[in-house]
């Protein structure tokens, strides 16, 4: 199943609902389906450009708008459950294959696809209006507009020090720095392509990719227009890949009236995951869980019985969280 790409582990179960929502409310980051739309000033011609580039229709049901919560997509007409509201061909999606061969050959195998795709973004940004992707690149969030935990100040990070998300934030920043050092030599010898790109620029680009790109059978890709859709944890609408049609598409999971914000689900993510990888949280998140860990001494005569009870009543992770390793002496409690 398609999944929203993140730059860290498969999921995080630790709920920090109060801390995260306090932080996000201060920054007005919660995406509301009730936001009143205003036409987006700098993206007026974006959809027309994308459809010219794709040589086909992308969507006749959506328009780009701004609300108090940021750029969003709204219904331009009545949408009914089951309608295909968006279809983006693979040929107008950005992947690591967009790297010039001479640059790709200089990147070592230890560098992952997120860093490679971030490099594509930096090159296209350097080209400015000379880039074939300029209308899309110019619509992406700028530095200072992302609020993932890797951008938090030290005092803000102190609020989440007791949680695992604190260490995952440190690990994520370390991975970005490691990737930057691995390709820094390319930046230094390719000023024409990268200009004066810095570590800060690279971190911003990696975070853009980690929060906006989707993985599928077609690989890791940025999907223009589709990534303007905001998240609703209870929505059943997701980005799907159709290899036969060679496109990504979204099917409406509910009816929308003209002017309503259209939402999809990035994944079955807790607020910890949303804050770490996307920079926002939602109230009453049904996927919030708290992980409880305890030690059972090996000499405990009831050790086997306790472990058996633990496994018997252990709450399995949601589908999008499967694959995450967890210690045998831990269990999870839903917080909602």
Residues 31, 67: Cα–Cα separation, whole Å: 9
> Which residue, of 222, 244, 276, is where some domain finishes?
222
Classify residue 32: in a domain, yes or no.
no
Residues 152 and 193 in one domain: yes
Is pTM beyond 0.85? Reply is no
pLDDT tens digits along 232-281: 999 999 999 999 999 999 999 999 999 999 999 998 898 989 999 999 98
Check whether residue 313 and residue 254 sit in a common domain.
no
Q: Within this chain, do residues 119 and 173 fall inside the same structural domain, yes or no?
A: yes
Q: Is position 1 within any domain?
A: no
State which residues of the chain have pLDDT below 50. Answer: 1-4, 6-35, 39-41, 317-328
Assigned domain for 174 exists? yes
Q: Is residue 33 part of a domain?
A: no
Burial class (CB in 10 A: 0-12, 13-18, 19+), 174: exposed
Same-domain status, 71 and 87 = yes
**Contacts of 243-247 spanning 24+ positions with Cβ under 8 A:** 243/217, 243/218, 245/87, 246/89, 246/90, 246/91, 247/87, 247/88, 247/89, 247/90
**Structural domains counted in the chain:** 3
Structural domain of 302: 290-334
Looking at the fold, whether 234 and 199 belong to one and the same domain comes out as no
pLDDT number for residue 195: 67
């Amino acid at each position: 199943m398609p999944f929203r790409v993140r730059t860290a582990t498969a999921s995080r179960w630790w709920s920090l609902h109060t801390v995260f929502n306090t932080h996000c409310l201060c920054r007005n980051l919660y995406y509301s389906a009730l936001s009143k739309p205003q036409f987006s000033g700098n993206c007026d011609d974006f959809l027309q450009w994308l459809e010219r580039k794709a040589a086909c229709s992308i969507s006749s049901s959506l328009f780009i708008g701004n609300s108090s919560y940021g750029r969003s997509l709204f219904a331009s007409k009545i949408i009914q459950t089951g309608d295909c509201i968006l279809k983006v061909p693979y040929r107008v999606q950005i992947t690591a294959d967009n790297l010039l061969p001479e640059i790709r050959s200089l990147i070592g195998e230890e560098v992952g696809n997120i860093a490679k795709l971030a490099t594509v973004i930096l090159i296209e940004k350097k080209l400015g209006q000379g880039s074939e992707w300029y209308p899309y690149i110019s619509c992406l969030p700028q530095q200072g507009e992302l609020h993932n935990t890797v951008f938090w100040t030290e005092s803000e990070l102190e609020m989440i020090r007791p949680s695992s998300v604190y260490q995952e934030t440190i690990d994520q920043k370390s991975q970005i720095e490691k990737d930057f050092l691995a390709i820094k030599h390319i930046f230094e010898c390719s000023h024409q392509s990268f200009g004066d790109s810095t570590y800060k620029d690279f971190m911003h680009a990696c975070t853009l990719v980690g929060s906006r790109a989707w993985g599928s059978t077609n690989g890791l890709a940025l999907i223009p227009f589709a990534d303007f859709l905001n998240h609703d944890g209870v929505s059943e609408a997701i980005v799907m890949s159709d290899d036969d049609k060679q496109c990504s598409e979204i099917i409406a999971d509910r009816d929308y009236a003209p002017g309503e914000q259209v939402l999809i689900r990035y994944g079955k993510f807790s607020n910890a995951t949303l804050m770490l990888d996307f920079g926002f949280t939602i109230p009453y998140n049904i996927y919030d869980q708290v992980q409880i860990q305890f030690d059972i001494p090996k000499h405990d005569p009831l050790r086997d019985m306790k472990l058996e009870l633990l496994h018997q009543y252990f709450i399995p992770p949601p589908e999008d969280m499967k694959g995450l390793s967890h210690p045998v002496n831990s269990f999870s409690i839903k917080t909602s």
